Chain A
Amino acid sequence: MVELGEVFETDTMIRDENLDVRTITMGISLLDCCDSDLDILCDNIYEKVTGAAKDLVSVGDEIGLDFGIPVINKRVAVTPVSIVGASACGTSEDYVKIAETLEKAARKVEVNFIGGYSALVQKGMTAADRMLIRSIPSAMAATERVCGSVSLASTKTGIDMDAVKLMGAVIKETAEMTRNEGSIGCAKLVVFCNPADDNPFMAGAFHGVTETDSVINVGVSGPGVIKRAISKVKGQNFEVLCETIKKTAFKVTRVGQLVAKEASERLNVPFGIVDLSLAPTPAVGDSIADIIQEMGIEYVGAPGTTAAVAILNDQVKKGGVMASSYVGGLSGAFIPVSEDRSMAYAAEIGALTIEKLEAMTCVCSVGLDMVPIPGDTSVETISGIIADEMAIGMINQKTTAVRIIPVCGKKAGETVEFGGLLGSSPIMPVSRYGCKDFIDRGGRIPAPIHSFKN
């Protein structure tokens, strides 16, 4: 029988510490939609998505009501569109039509994002991959809810530097095409090394080709809960700190497991994974930076920050793994800048720099995330930042990502306001020294020695 103290502990987490289920994401395979006729393909995609996800939002809301826990987002992830559209698309514009179809389907089923406008080119690009990648700026500008991702590298294959170079230009063009909205198109676009096929979080969610027809993946979140727990062990040693994070992460993840099982049963769709990631929002008290600072770092970015992120990421995994029967996705700590109020503040006062963020990405669950940079940053510099991040992922056998926003017309130190969950942030300065000759080499960086495990 549950105890009074336990009931109120759970309720305090939900009411005061922003514990919520961040997303129920339904992965839907579009492989059976393929056709050589673009109109038929688009019809098939629309029918498949609107059919499979028709009850997703209502079931998500119903679960939220039954258990008294907010289910913030309901989303859809589809098979990488470069594959789905390969035989139907002859031009980049053809791919944009698929993006528009996805937007229409997302609106019909009332999900706020649909991910999977993606290409997996970690070893090389097909003609279709190239067309999709070139279409990304137009697709991001023409849609509101469609998210794109491109996998550029993996530990097994190395880094596709031709694609890294191309993505530098694509990110810049996407920023230009959405310049009137603070270059927000780039907030829906991410590049990866070692991407997860079952990641429920946007902008990087897609439904991997090795997945079943449809699947339910859930992402929980509760930075505020972890922060409050840590505040109770102020001054105590690392053993106590780590145990506290681990136990709290267990409790948070159990909620995700419950919601995932319920959603799977009610929608009659298999349960995929729970993603343990701690994802912040711009709301007060919903911040990863606050956790780092609660550990004893004055402002995130100060010496000690990387160690603090490493502790957080590892303990969240250790606590979460036992709480769920299937753990997957990115599972760790996100460190976005604009989406985390205290992270953005640390950037504003100069405590946090891109270089320090890069170091933190070696031990966090993803990478450079929601980092606004000056609009006049060169294409090669953007590619160079991407290459660095891909190298970290490749060598460390982890997922890394870059979601960077060259905000048109803004200089370092100015502020950009994205609104909603995307938040606001000062524009972070980037190195003024170039890497053009390095990026212009082209070709592929070979896989590292430790990838040969056979």
Chain B
Amino acid sequence: MNKVIVTLVGKDHTGIIASVCSYFAENDINILDIKQTTVQEYINMMMIVDLEKCTMQFSEIVSGLDAVGKKVGCVIKAQHEEIFDMMHRI
């Protein structure tokens, strides 16, 4: 398993999660978990995805998500899981 955390922040509207999920489906990226909160009109979303079957370079995924983000008006970032584990787990 090659776990990556994807975060999304932006103004909420219909179809944001659908666009991100379609991008993952097209590129063989499996979604393991989705969590989200909406504060006033802003959405904060986190996805844990598995890149095991994905053939793309990580840099391509980062720029692909960036393009999806621009289309839906949100900032989308992908980071390997270890940075969060290291910072928040002893």
- Give the interface of A toward B (CB within 8 A): 1-4, 6-11, 65-69, 251, 254-255, 257-258, 322
Tell whether, in the assembled complex, residue B46 and residue A254 are in contact, meaning their CB atoms are under 8 Å apart: no
Q: Is B18 an interface residue (CB 8 A)?
A: no
21 interchain pairs (CB within 8 A)? A2-B84, A2-B85, A2-B88, A3-B35, A4-B35, A4-B46, A6-B84, A6-B88, A7-B46, A7-B84, A8-B44, A10-B87, A65-B58, A65-B59, A66-B58, A67-B79, A67-B82, A67-B83, A69-B83, A251-B87, A255-B87
- A8 and B81 in contact (CB under 8 A), knowing A1-B48, A65-B59? no
Is B77 an interface position by the 8 A CB rule? yes
B80 at the interface (CB under 8 A from A): yes
B86 within 8 A of A: yes
Give 4 closest A-B pairs by Cβ, nearest first. A68-B79, A67-B83, A254-B86, A2-B84
A1 to B62, CA, bound (A): 22
| A6→B85 CA distance, assembly (Å) | 9
Query: In whole angstroms, how far apart are the Cα atoms of A8 and B8 in the complex?
Result: 10
- Number of B residues with CB within 8 Å of any CB on chain A: 26
Distance between Cα atoms of A67 and B59 in the complex (Å): 11
How distant is A17 from chain B, measured CB to nearest CB, in Å? Answer: 13
B interface, CB within 8 angstroms of A: 5, 7, 9, 33, 35-37, 44, 46, 48, 58-59, 62, 77-88, 90
Instruction: List the A side residues contacting B35 at CB < 8 Å.
Output: 3-4
Give the chain A neighbours of B85 by CB distance below 8 A. 2
Look across to chain B and name the residue whose beta carbon is closest to the beta carbon of A67.
B83
CB-based contact B46/A8 at 8 Å: yes
Q: Given A8-B46, A65-B58, does the pair A258, B84 have CB atoms closer than 8 Å?
A: no
Residues on A with beta carbons closer than 8 Å to the beta carbon of B5: 2, 7
Q: Are B33 and A66 in contact, CB atoms less than 8 angstroms apart?
A: no
Minimum C-beta distance from A2 to chain B (A)? 4
Q: How far is the CB of A248 from chain B (nearest CB, A)?
A: 10
In the bound complex, what is the Cα–Cα distance between A251 and B48 (angstroms)? 21
Which residue of chain A has its CB nearest to the CB of B59? A65
Taking A8-B7, A254-B86 as known contacts, 13 extra A-B pairs with beta carbons closer than 8 A to each other, sorted by chain A number, are A2-B5, A4-B44, A6-B87, A6-B88, A9-B88, A10-B83, A11-B77, A66-B79, A68-B78, A68-B83, A254-B87, A257-B86, A322-B90
What distance in Å separates the Cβ of B79 from its nearest Cβ neighbour in chain A?
4
CA separation between A8 and B9, bound complex, in Å?
10
Return the contact of B7 from the options A11, A65, A67, A257 (Cβ within 8 A): A11
